[in-house]
Structure 1
Amino acid sequence: MTADRNTSRASATPPRGFPPQEFEQRLAAAQAQMRAQRLDALLLSTEPEVRYFSGFHSQFWESPTRPWFLIVPLEGKPVAVIPEIGLSGMAATWLDDIRTWPAPRPEDDGISLLAETITALSRRYGRLGVPMGHETFLRLPLQDFQKLSTRLAALEIIDCAPLIRQLRFIKSPAEIARIHHICDLASAAFENLPQRMHSGQSEREICQDFRMDLLRRGADNSPYLISGSGPDGYDNIIMGPSDRIIEQGDVLIIDTGTTFDGYFCDFDRNFAFGKVSDLTRRAYDTVYRATDAGFAAARPGATLRDIWVAMWNILEAGGALGNDVGRMGHGLGMQLTEGPSVTDRDDTPLRPGAVLTLEPGMTYAPGKQMVHEENIIITENGARLLSRRASPELPIIS
């Protein structure tokens, strides 16, 4: 890796929440894009988008009972249309136009109020942006969206998913500080893990202890913590942790998406217990060097395809039989995985402020995978690590 590699610890714990200026900047950037795309307003209904523009950060989204809406107009501040139960929480944000209804009310769960609010907005283009593309969904019943569409028949509904993705792909310094902080906490927990685990434990026991260590260090939550293991390798990286007992000769992968103040880290570490084969050691070395190659390729003006090609060239030369994951990295921030994806088909250009995962992986023998992941930020001078770099050699737990 280049001199921009950063293995230092993050600075002091960032303050929670953002000042109004942060949201004003996000809003101004959105409204500039809205003018360029001739949109009168955006209608948002999912937690990350609502939080991105309002700062409303609540665990209450875990309940599927009530829908929540945020309208971003072409002029002025966003308007919240939410259940009454959320009034005091939303009032604590920078927003001042908050409209409520007594939810749950299945016969009209905010749809009339939402339609009235949108209809009353000044109209220049007759177009309403709603995220409808890849990696988006509407957090309301389909029949309610159909009712809303009928009420808004005078407006053309346009997919604004690319607009939102472009905005969120580039992080502010305050967002980067949060991601760096949680990467630092997870890095420290991973570095401490070899002293806390041993053969004879189950994957579940090891991961439970790892999660508790993360929480003690100051993480808010570890909603994504998976593992896989097997003799001299593993064949699955999206299940687990299971009750499988780790034995001598096993390889264990642990991958975590852990949060601080609503922002994720997402990276993994591999461990071997006792003696492993030279083939497995070489596979680890290959994915490690592929990560280096991806890091070197990650610079302003390069594309995600450039990163993919750089990593795949190393994997292929290292004997990769294939990669069935579908991508080798992705955006990262308020969600565990954000767009875009590091694939050989994505020509999204990199810009300073983009946060990515580098995740080269390969099948190195039938039924055996090796995957490695780090988190990086794109700067004016190239890439910089947010996670602390893994060991260059496969760690052996005696």
Structure 2
Amino acid sequence: MSAQRGFPAAEFGARLERAQRQMAAAGLDLLLLTTEPDVRYFSGFLTQFWQSPTRPWFLLVPAEGKPVAVIPGIGAPAMERTWIEDIRTWASPNPADEGLSLLAETVRELAGEAPRIGIPSGPETHLRLPLAEYDRLRGLLGGATFRDDAGIVRALRIVKSEAEIAKIGTACEIVSGVFEDWSGWLAPGMSEREIFRRFKIACLEAGADDVSYLVGGAGPDGYGDIISPPSEREVQDGDVLILDTGTLYDGYFCDFDRNYAIGVPSDAVARAYRTVFAATEAGLEAARPGATCADLFNAMAGVLSADGAGAGNVGRIGHGLGTVLTEWPSITASDRTELVPGMVLTLEPGLEYAPGLMMVHEENIVIRDGGAELLTRRAPRDIPVVT
């Protein structure tokens, strides 16, 4: 069953209440939000128009009261369908004043002449505002103090509500079914480009909103590159194919992969697949409240190293997941982020089993009081064989 689309106003009210409580503790008068996932988290404003870099968008979270949107006029109808009531607009594009004077006026109205403004500025954040425009805004608000948001937004977004988890779970269910029904989109002799195209179509037909991320590759006895676009090369006996997708349902991503052997796999391929499967099992067992991301890394890396392999060259073996394909935290040996119920993560162990040849496996989980709950349907224990 698909998760209900959208959120009730009470969901946004609860997010706002938690943010304002933490703002008071951190001594902040306003949060200034400028990126799609942060604006959407507090407003519900869902649109693909963010792919256009022409216009800036602003959402102000005050110490009291509901958020205020300061946005280009073209976005007003979509924002009016959210729970946001105070929507202020300007005619854009307008390079001479791209909403900054209206934003400054609104800041002063909400928080006075000397507000303490928090902006998310930790790892995996960006401002989405030209440096010159940011300098101009600071000039317009000469009495304001701009500072880091004390990690408030990240702390809120890292723990998902049940409604958010249901959306990620729906995306996982849709794509799990497509992966399992591989005979409908995969056969020897097809080109990588055709496989990618047919896979995306299958996901859309199964109920996904978009397949905005699909990477992978295939090669004789394995693959070494899993982030480049597909080629016209035809898959053939002896190949190993991986597809890794971030597919969307109502603004929330799944992110997992599946591997396929074209014809009977070699012993090295079969063994590498079983190793990453076992590493994922170790991650599932270790993913409990109170553990850290480093604990997860060590559990999975221990299985890889016991089989004579390292933890691959991607720098981590999993990450957070939600409104962005990859979110904080990272599953690395040095990440001490503590796992708490409601966190959604990927487990993504990978290894190099021969020079230049990789095997990567990925599942999506949510942390519960009793441990990890799979959101994806578990991959087969042995690599599927396509004939």
Deviation digits for residues 25-77 of structure 1, max 9, x if unmatched? Answer: 01011111111111111000111111110011112112111111000011110
Alignment-derived partner of residue 58 in structure 2: 69
**By how many angstroms is 1:333 displaced?**
0.5
The alpha-carbon distance between structure 1 residues 202 and 163, as it changes in their structure 2 partners (threshold 3 A), is same
Map 1:123-142 onto structure 2 (within 5 A).
126-142=115-131
Residue 13 of structure 1: CA displacement?
1.5
Letter in structure 2 aligned against 1:374: E
Residue 353 of structure 2 aligns with which residue? 364
The answer to whether structure 1 residue 325 and structure 2 residue 318 are counterparts is: no
Distance 1:124 1:387, change over 3 A: farther
Matches within 5 A, 1:1-398: 12-122=1-111, 126-160=115-149, 162-398=151-387
Residue pair 1:267, 1:374 contacting (<8 A) in 2 also: yes
Greater Cα offset, 88-97 or 367-376: 88-97
Code of the residue aligned with 1:247 in structure 2: it is Q
| C-alpha displacement of 1:123 | 5.2
Say if 1:355 and 1:321 are closer, same or farther in 2 by CA, change over 3 A.
Answer: closer
- Specify every segment of 5 or more residues in structure 1 that has no aligned partner in the other structure, as ranges: 1-11
Task: Give the 3 Å change call, closer, same or farther, for CA 124–345 of structure 1 in structure 2.
Answer: farther
Offset at residue 374 of structure 1 (A): 0.2
| Kept in 1: contact 2:237–2:263 (CA 8 A) | yes
Q: Which amino acid aligns with 2:77?
A: S
- What is the rounded CA distance, in whole Å, between the counterparts of 1:117 and 1:315 in structure 2? 54
Q: Which amino acid aligns with 2:220?
A: P
Cα distance per residue 1:279-321 (max 9 Å; x no partner): 1111111100000001100000110000000000001111214
Q: Secondary structure at the match of 1:369?
A: strand
Counterpart of 1:9 in structure 2 is none
Secondary structure of the structure 1 residue equivalent to 2:260: strand
> What is the count of residue pairs matched by the alignment?
387
Question: Matches of 1:198 and 1:182 in 2, distance apart?
Answer: 24
Q: Distance in 2 between matches of 1:155 and 1:363?
A: 52
Contact map agreement 2:185 2:202 (CA 8 A) in 1: no
Preserved contact between residue 40 and residue 125 of structure 1 (Cα < 8 Å)? no
Provide the C-alpha distance between the structure 1 equivalents of 2:65 and 2:239, rounded to a whole number of angstroms. 58
Letter in 2 for 1:274: G
| Aligned mates of 2:20, 2:373 — CA distance in 1 | 30
Deviation track 1:108-167 (CA, whole Å, cap 9, x = no partner) reads 000011011112223598421012221111122221111001222322211127221111
* AA aligned opposite 2:376: S
Of 184-193 and 162-171, the range deviating more from structure 2: 162-171
What amino acid is the match of 2:335? Answer: D
Partner residue of 1:8?
A: none
Paired letter, 1:252: L
SS at match of 1:90: helix
CA distance in 1 between partners of 2:233 and 2:38 (Å): 39
**Counterparts of 1:153 and 1:229, CA distance in 2:** 56
One-letter amino acid of the counterpart of residue 306, structure 2 = A
The two structures have a TM-score, normalised by structure 2, of 0.98
Question: 1:181 and 1:241 mapped to 2: Cα distance?
Answer: 27
Amino acid at match of 1:387: T
Q: TM-score, normalised by structure 1?
A: 0.95
CA contact (8 A) 2:114 2:145 kept: no
Q: Which amino acid aligns with 2:11?
A: E
- Give the AA of the match of 1:334: T
Counterpart residue type for residue 58 of structure 1 = T
